[in-house]
Every structure is written in structure tokens, then in C-alpha cells.
Structure 1
Amino acid sequence: MTIDQLDPAVLPEPTSTYTHGTLVTGATRTVFVSGQVPWAENGTVPPDFETQCRLTWRNVLAVLAEAGMGPQHLARVTTYLSDRKYREAYGRIRAEVLGDHRPAVTIVITDIYAEEWLLEIDAVAVET
């Protein structure tokens, strides 16, 4: 299986750890990760954004691990932020989690289902 980045020359270079598009060839398994939120195992939600963000990514990776996958299998990630002031911190933490891997990414600034959640992340991962 290959996951190739699609960054056409007619588009500006991506500004962060993402690609304009993702081409998946030879995938035999696909995982659709439901929106993950910053819930700890005991159901609590930390008050600060960075802790919430790391916890939410941990929850995404836990779903992938359940399928025998990791962050390198992500083809698409959609993140919902409750406020645009979190963009920079989110981008930094996403880069830590994904390393050199660059899936297709969308970030939406919006209200989130529960007021205490500052973000939610859903994703699609693929594997041969």
C-alpha cells in the first residue's frame, strides 16, 4: 500500500503538517474514526487546551491501535476547534503526533457538542 501526497504546483505549498490531497493505492482495510473528544478514562475533561489536545489525539490513536494501525496510516483528519486561538497549539501538537506523516487535513472553527470540549478530531486510516 502507498499513501502519496498530492500537492499540485498550482496550489501554494501547505503551511503546516498536512497535504492538499491523499492518494491511497492498494488499501485493503479502512478505519473510520468517529469524532474523538478529550475524555480521560475516568470520564473527566482537563481544563486546558494542550492537555485536551494530547488526550484527544491519544484517543484517536487508541482507536487506530485497536485495528493494529498507527498514525502513519492516517489518510484524512478533520479537527473541530472551539476557538481559532487554539490553531497554533493544535498545529504544534499535531506535528508532534504525526512526525513526518502528512495526511489530508481540514480544521473547522465551530461550537462543539459539549461546552467543556475545546476540540474534536475524526479521521480515516487505511492499510493493506
Structure 2
Amino acid sequence: MLKRDNINALNAPQPRGGYSQAVSIEDFRRVLFISGQIPVNSDEVVPEGFEAQARQVWRNVDAQLKAAGMSKTDIVKVTTYLADRQHAIANREIRNDYLGSLAPAMTVVVAGIFDSAWLIEVEVTAAQ
């Protein structure tokens, strides 16, 4: 049975907004590495606007988790790539809507994303 411990050292900055500074896992059976999920649906359509793209990305993450027999509760690490820092607050709100009280380790990077139409890309590590 997976043992999970969220770690937030008292002598370091405390997390702001639904994540942990570190996540320790023990006694897991498997680890799933999900490639960067892009804001494209199964019909190859890119939604208009950041919020629609972010929700699409999390639907894609969820689809990969389910295909592997896992769920969002198995997520231990999230890396998010934003095309522009102006999307930071919306990103946090939409991510928190998806993750709920789950607080995985997390990194957010502002970067040039492969396709200029994409405003966000998210990669995930999950463990059971």
C-alpha cells in the first residue's frame, strides 16, 4: 500500500496555493510518467482562450490516468508550462478545481511552448 507524506519544511518557504514543497512516497507498486499534455481534444481542436485550454489539458491528464488504471489521487508531481505569466492565477484556480485537496509537489515554468496556439502544457507523475 502506497505511503504518501507531504513535506513542507518549517525553515523554508511555505507553499502558496494547493501544492507541497516535497512529496515522499514509499511502498508503491508502480510509477506513471505522463508526457506533457497539450490543450488539444481528441478531434485535434485547440479550444479558444486560456481557461478552456487549461480545462482541456486536465481532461487529457485525467484520460491518461484512467487509461493506466489510476486517478488524480495518485498524482505526486505536476509540472506546468505557461506561455505567459499573466495566466498564473487562472492556472492555479483551474488546477485547484481539478486537484481539490490533493497537494502534489509542483513546478510552474513560463516558457515558449512548442505550438504558439498552446497557452499551457502539463506533465504529471503518479504512483500507486
Identity of aligned residues (%): 36
How far is 1:67 from its partner?
1.0
Q: Which runs of 4+ in 1 moved over 4 A?
A: none
Instruction: Give 1:1-128 correspondences, 5 Å limit.
Output: 1-127=2-128
SS in 1 for 2:123: strand
How far is 1:12 from its partner?
2.2
SS in 2 for 1:72: helix
CA distance in 1 between partners of 2:48 and 2:116 (Å) = 11
Letter in 1 for 2:19: Y
How far is 1:4 from its partner?
1.0
How far is 1:48 from its partner?
0.5
CA distance in 2 between partners of 1:3 and 1:97 (Å) = 19
Q: Does the 8 Å CA contact 1:47/1:116 hold for their aligned counterparts?
A: no
CA distance in 2 between partners of 1:41 and 1:67 (Å) = 18
CA distance in 2 between partners of 1:28 and 1:62 (Å) = 20
How far is 1:66 from its partner?
0.7
CA distance in 2 between partners of 1:123 and 1:4 (Å) = 18
Letter in 1 for 2:104: P
- The RMSD of aligned alpha carbons is 0.6
Q: Which runs of 5+ in 2 are unaligned?
A: none
Q: Deviations over 1:102-126 (max 9, x none)?
A: 0000000010000000010001000
Letter in 1 for 2:27: G
CA distance in 2 between partners of 1:87 and 1:3 (Å) = 27
Q: Which runs of 5+ in 1 are unaligned?
A: none
Instruction: Using structure 2 for the length normalisation, give the TM-score.
Output: 0.97
Instruction: Using structure 1 for the length normalisation, give the TM-score.
Output: 0.97
CA distance in 2 between partners of 1:39 and 1:3 (Å) = 32
Equivalent pairs counted in the alignment come to 127
